[in-house]
Amino acid sequence: MKQLLILILLTIIFMPSFAQQVPAFGPLPTASQLAWHETEYYWFIHFGPNTFTDKEWGHGDEPEDIFNPTQLDCRQWARTARAAGAKGIILTAKHHDGFCLWPSKYSTHTVRESKWRNGKGDVVKELSLACKEYGLKFGVYLSPWDRNHPKYGTPAYNQVFVNMMTEIFKNYGPIWEFWWDGANGEGPNGKKQVYDWPLFRETVKKLSPNTVVFSDIGPQIRWVGNESGFAGTTNWNLLNVSGFTAGAGAPSTDTLNSGNIYGEKWIPAECDVSIRPGWFYHKEEDEKVKSPEALFNLYLKSAGRGSTLLLNVPPDRRGLINGYDSAALMGFRKLRENSFRQNLLANSSVAIKISGKGKRITSLTDGKQTTYEKLDSMSIQFKTATTINAIMLQEPIQMGQRIIKFRLLLQDKNGTTIKELTATTVGRKRILSFPSVTASKIQVMIDDAKATPLISEVAAYHINEQLIEQ
């Protein structure tokens, strides 16, 4: 018995710091949600009859033959996405016009009825296979609103929609993310549909329990409240959903943008935005594609605020990613790589110490979310004064989101503060950028937290001055 007690005491003494009995706090992400957080940046693809009619929302009465891409190549989409550093693609398999990019048995408004590939084509299948080939995650957007289907606006349509979802999951999986648009307008009969959201959610859960589902209120991912690609400067991964529904019954856009500090469920925000003014391809927008610098700024305001960036890249009428878009995307990747290539703190000459511990800490620059430290403050000492203009913090979100408010003090060698930054939430990642400062010390002060503050990673960078957040 005595030997057992000694063994237990030794185990406690030499236990790594990050494992010291810090209980998880509040709602927590599932394994699928944690993996989703790690994707950080991926593509939306809007493609369909609207591509050929120059519309954003089709009416559902467009002839199927209008869909006729002359050089469609989903492998080119996937190859370009991978080269651009994106980690997945979500396809609009059916937009509001009701046109199905796969030969659904439950619609007569599909690629089967078009002259494209003599009615034998299947865009969903081709992209699913291309994503597998290039190591990308594959997601599907399926609009509940259907301006073509004759049963839309009747109770029978909910089962039609379930049947379509079933086709997608059984024939084109695995489906990583499934997207429900909250739009609800009139169908061809002039009626609106009462969506059976509980049935829809249960169907996905039954067919593919590891799929993360997006809607205004989740259940796994929420809309960020805008289509401009930015999360709130305060961004909680938590949301109160009781009493709310997707669509018109959703929480306010301000709530969706910032979340709820004590929300009942872990439902993080996804930031959707298009690389062009429109969501579908329009030739007159070729020279209005967002610049690499504009895309980098969106990255700071989405992934840099703890969300993910869902960037829409619409193929042109040939069925290819256009050269204007591709050039901007490759420039965007180069900016990210150059900006974040070197963590100025991951250097043996930099001393990182935390409150209550005199030893130098290395676990905060090891690139791992699974190692973390509990702290109220942290002191970072450079061997020589260093110029920086961006600082990144991460929480181990598998333990819950905790930090409410923090400060960064950039100091000279005498400890005089040169610049002070104040911010709120951290979450999966928080990047603060600012005009360049040459500092000898950085003090990180956690001013308020819901539970014991935990930090898993800290980094400092010197990025191009033109790229700091505007």
Shared domain check, 183 and 149: yes
Shared domain check, 359 and 332: no
Encode burial over 137-155: b for 16+ CB neighbours within 10 A, e otherwise: bbbbbbbbbbbbbebbbee
Residues of the chain with pLDDT under 70: 1-20, 356-359
Shared domain check, 142 and 61: yes
Shared domain check, 223 and 199: yes
Total domain count, the chain: 2
* 289 belongs to a structural domain: yes
Look at residue 3 in the predicted model and tell me its pLDDT. 47
Look at residue 248 in the predicted model and tell me its pLDDT. 82
Domain that residue 92 falls in: 31-340
Query: pLDDT for 278-315, tens place per residue?
Result: 999 999 999 999 999 999 999 999 999 999 999 999 99
* 11 belongs to a structural domain: no
* 16 belongs to a structural domain: no
* 389 belongs to a structural domain: yes
Shared domain check, 378 and 261: no
Shared domain check, 356 and 307: no
Domain stop point among 340, 362, 383:
340
Shared domain check, 166 and 260: yes
Shared domain check, 175 and 153: yes
Look at residue 182 in the predicted model and tell me its pLDDT. 82
Kindly report the pTM of this predicted structure: 0.94
Shared domain check, 136 and 275: yes
* 22 belongs to a structural domain: no
Shared domain check, 290 and 217: yes
Shared domain check, 111 and 57: yes
Domain stop point among 308, 340, 372:
340
Give the CATH number for residue 125.
3.20.20.80
* 18 belongs to a structural domain: no
Domain stop point among 292, 310, 340:
340
Give the CATH number for residue 371.
2.60.120.260
**Cα–Cα distance, 165 to 203 (Å, whole number):** 8
Cβ contacts of 224-227, under 8 Å, gap ≥ 24: 224/256, 224/257, 224/269, 224/270, 224/271, 224/272, 224/302, 224/307, 225/252, 225/253, 225/254, 225/255, 225/256, 225/257, 225/269, 226/253, 226/257, 227/272, 227/273, 227/274
Look at residue 183 in the predicted model and tell me its pLDDT. 85
Shared domain check, 261 and 192: yes
